[in-house]
Structure 1
Amino acid sequence: MAEFTLRRCVSGDEPMLSLVGGASFLEAFADVLDGPDILAHFHKNHSVQAYSKYLAPAENRIYVAEVAPGAAPVGYIVCTAPDFPIETTAEDYELRRIYLLHRFQGCGIGKALMDQAIASGRELGYKRLLLGVYGKNYGAIRFYEKAGFTQIGERFFTVGATTHHDAVMARSL
Structure 2
Amino acid sequence: MITYRDARAADALPLSAMARRSFVETFGTLYSASDLATFLDDAFGANGLAAQLSDPDFTVRLAIDQGEIIGFAKMGPVTFPGEWRPDAIELYQFYVLGPWQGHGVAQEMMDWAIRHAREHGAREIILSVYVDNHRARRFYQRYGFEEIGAYAFQVGETIDDDRLMRLVI
Q: Under TM normalisation by the shorter chain, which class is it?
A: over 0.9
Q: CA deviation at 1:83?
A: 0.9
What is the TM-score of this pair, normalised by structure 1? 0.93
Cα deviations by residue, 1:31-51 (Å, 9 ceiling, x for unpaired): 222222111110111113312
Q: CA deviation at 1:71?
A: 1.9
The answer to whether the 8 A contact 1:6-1:64 is kept is: yes
Amino acid of the residue matched to residue 128 of structure 1?
Answer: E
Cα deviations by residue, 1:121-167 (Å, 9 ceiling, x for unpaired): 11111100010111111111001101110101111011011111110
- Distance in structure 2 (CA, Å) of the matches to 1:159 and 1:120: 28
Q: Secondary structure at the match of 1:83?
A: coil
Q: 1:106 aligns with which of 99, 102, 106?
A: 102
Q: 2:51 aligns with which of 47, 50, 53?
A: 53
What RMSD over aligned residues (CA atoms) do the two structures have, in Å? 1.2
Match of 1:22 in 2: 20
1:85 aligns with 2:81: yes
Amino acid of the residue matched to residue 58 of structure 2?
Answer: N
- Distance in structure 1 (CA, Å) of the matches to 2:125 and 2:136: 16
Amino acid of the residue matched to residue 147 of structure 2?
Answer: Q
Structure 2 unaligned blocks of 5 or more: none
Runs of 4+ in 1 over 6 A off after TM superposition: none
Match of 1:148 in 2: 144
The answer to whether the 8 A contact 1:59-1:124 is kept is: no
Q: CA deviation at 1:58?
A: 2.3
Amino acid of the residue matched to residue 31 of structure 2?
Answer: L
- Distance in structure 1 (CA, Å) of the matches to 2:33 and 2:89: 32
The answer to whether the 8 A contact 1:156-1:163 is kept is: yes
Cα deviations by residue, 1:65-93 (Å, 9 ceiling, x for unpaired): 001xx321111010010111232121100
Q: 2:121 aligns with which of 125, 142, 163?
A: 125
What is the TM-score of this pair, normalised by structure 2? 0.95
Q: CA deviation at 1:97?
A: 0.4
Q: Secondary structure at the match of 2:112?
A: helix
Number of equivalent positions: 169
Q: CA deviation at 1:104?
A: 0.7
Amino acid of the residue matched to residue 53 of structure 1?
Answer: A
Match of 1:31 in 2: 29
